[in-house]
Amino acid sequence: MLNALAEVPLAPFTTLRAGGPAQRLILLDSAEQLAEVAAVAQVVGEPLTVLGSGSNVLPSDLGVEGTVLINRSRGLKIEPDGTVTADSGFPLQDLFLKTVQQGLTGLEFAVGIPGTLGGALASNAGAYRSSIGSFVTAVEVVEGGLVRWEPASFLKLSYRHSILREPAGRGIVVTRVRLRLQPGDSWRALQDAREFQRQRISKQPAPASAGSFFKNVEDRGLAESLPGLPQALKDAGVVPAGYLLEAVGLRGFRHGGALFSHRHANFLLNVARATATEIRELAEIAKERVYDRFGRRLEEEVLLLGRWINPS
Ligand SMILES: Cc1cc2nc3c(=O)[nH]c(=O)nc-3n(C[C@H](O)[C@H](O)[C@H](O)COP(=O)(O)OP(=O)(O)OC[C@H]3O[C@@H](n4cnc5c(N)ncnc54)[C@H](O)[C@@H]3O)c2cc1C
């Protein structure tokens, strides 16, 4: 029998360490439990939110209605041909370590991304020119109370996006994920992972954050017009959100307990018990300044959960 806890603060379940309570919270240890609870909630029409490591979310201070499921499912099967089937609660970094030990490569980029596989799919997590979507072949989902397998195309993955972020996909729960990895040079993959980790440590601030707060801007015209933007980014037509935030003077800018990092302008940090409202307000200041100066709207990579007063 699963225990539902009432009015549980969500801040400890997020890496930003902010946000109000879940109306009901259930901790789950298996994909079967996740599927069962999700199906029942969908059938009775109860709002449902699945959290993995909470490393890409900001729950409102007013809380999150309905049931929040903390997904700790950790099942994993690795087959000799490179087919990997993992529960959606499997930590992404551990998946790299387990698969590389079996001589399978590709997930090196995941080292340093502190999330689960399910959370990684929601925003097609990636780094160093790789993303999880390139390796996913199928997903087991629960929708409308039914459990079924779908091909990866069902997820509509693109840059930091998936159907799970769209209104149409809200409420869909991913329970298992099938990936295809290639046999390769494990030693080389571990060296690459170590180098990625070194780069992260040198660039990323330590305090509470959700990683990059905003998505980078894909806009060739803007990229070409910006002085000092590296040629590779101009060629790719990509403007890092951090470039825009720095240009409008927000590197190191503080609002309440929230701060844009000095080290990495797109890392919004909780440095002094910031409320979710303060974090959101700082994000709105950033969006307004960037729009006024560049005419482009920054879009949050971090997902805002629950009910917000005065959403912009
Ligand atoms: C220090 C730091 C560095 C980071 N670096 C990177 C990086 O390099 N690249 C990158 O892409 N991201 C990065 N992130 C962001 C984050 O770690 C990733 O997006 C991660 O994959 C999120 O996984 P999670 O389990 O924490 O998801 P959560 O934050 O728990 O959830 C994120 C979203 O996914 C949904 N979700 C979670 N599980 C499921 C499921 N089973 N079914 C349906 N929906 C689900 C949630 O409802 C929510 O909407 C970083 C974060 C931090 C704190």
Give the position of tokens 């990509």.
238
Given a cut of 90, is residue 3 above it in pLDDT?
A: no
Q: Are residues 41 and 54 in the same domain?
A: yes
195 belongs to a structural domain? no
Q: Looking at the 3D structure of the chain, how many domains does it have?
A: 3
Q: Are 67 and 85 found together in one domain?
A: no
User: What's the CA gap between 116 and 125, in Å, rounded?
Assistant: 10
Task: Quote the radius of gyration of the chain (alpha carbons, Å).
Answer: 20
CATH number at 63 reads: 3.30.43.10
Reported as a pLDDT band with limits 50, 70 and 90, residue 204 is confident
Task: Give the CATH number, domain containing residue 177.
Answer: 3.30.465.10
Residues 282 and 240 in one domain: yes
Q: Is the shortest distance between the CB of 208 and ligand 1 below 6 Å? A: no
Domain holding 288, by residue range, is 207-305
Same domain (yes/no): 293, 244: yes
pLDDT at 99 over 80: yes
The CATH number linked to 289 is 3.90.78.10
The structure's pTM equals: 0.96
Q: Is 17 considered catalytic here?
A: no
- At residue 81's C-alpha, the angle toward residues 79 and 87, to 5°, is 35
116 lines ligand 1 (CB under 6 A): yes
CB 53 within 8 A of CB 10: no
Instruction: With cut-offs at 50, 70 and 90, classify the pLDDT of residue 1.
Output: low
By the 8 A CB rule, do 75 and 172 touch?
no
Is 196 within the bounds of a domain?
Answer: no
Tell me, using a 6 A CB cutoff, whether residue 16 lines ligand 1: no
Which residues, at least 6 apart from 164, have a Cβ–Cβ distance to it below 8 Å?
121, 122, 155, 170, 172, 174
In a domain, 198, yes or no: no
Q: Which atom of ligand 1 is nearest to the CA of 120?
A: 21
Centroid of ligand 1 to alpha carbon of 121 (angstroms):
8
Nearest to residue 11, comparing CAs of 48, 88, 64, 49?
64
For 8-50, write each residue's pLDDT tens digit.
999 999 999 999 999 999 999 999 999 999 999 999 999 999 9
Average pLDDT, the chain: 96
Q: For 210-266, what is each residue's pLDDT tens digit?
A: 999 999 999 999 999 998 899 999 999 999 999 999 999 999 999 999 999 999 999
Q: Beta strands of 33-151 (E only): which ranges?
A: 48-51, 57-59, 64-71, 76-78, 83-87, 104-105, 126-127, 130-131, 136-143, 146-151
